[in-house]
Amino acid sequence: MPEAKKSDKVKVHYTGKLENGMVFDSSLDREPLEFEIGKGDIIQGFEEDVVGMNPGDSKTIEIPVEKAYGPRNEELAIEIQRNQFPDGIEPEVGQQLESEQEDGEVILFTVTSVTDSIVNLDANHPLAGRDLSFEIELVEIC
């Protein structure tokens, strides 16, 4: 039976959990995740742990911060005056906003807190700074 290797397209079912066991995402109620191993479209640790699996294999993997979404970067958390917020947008905690930089790069921010005068925004990935675990099943090597 073929083992998954770099450059293979694979389909994987997964359930992702935080350190406290809380599920943050799962593919079990939808189509399996499809990706090419080594292409870098998903987190490094996940890709690496699929290598060597056979279709039908299941396992639980632990992915450290460095091979997941990386450490939090506090420089990506900013505070702005509420009166600087764009007209017509009422900031709410959890809301995601895009900001286009002068060089054309688009940065995605999440609103983390709102007061009468201040809006706090964070451009870190929501899972940055977290060790993650996944229950994975290799469904298919395409």
The pTM is what? 0.78
Topology (CATH level 3) of domain 9-70+127-141:
Chitinase A; domain 3 (3.10.50)
Among 54, 51, 109, 100, residue whose Cα is nearest residue 77: 109
Domain boundaries, the chain: 9-70+127-141, 74-122
State the CB neighbour count (10 A cutoff) for residue 48: 15
Phi, psi of 62 (to 5 degrees): -110, 125
pLDDT per residue rounded down to tens, the chain (142 residues): 689 999 999 999 999 999 999 999 999 999 999 999 999 999 999 999 999 999 999 999 999 999 999 999 999 999 999 888 778 888 999 999 888 888 888 889 999 999 999 999 999 998 999 999 999 999 999 9
For 74-122, CATH number?
Answer: 2.40.10.330
Alpha helices in the chain (DSSP H): 44-50
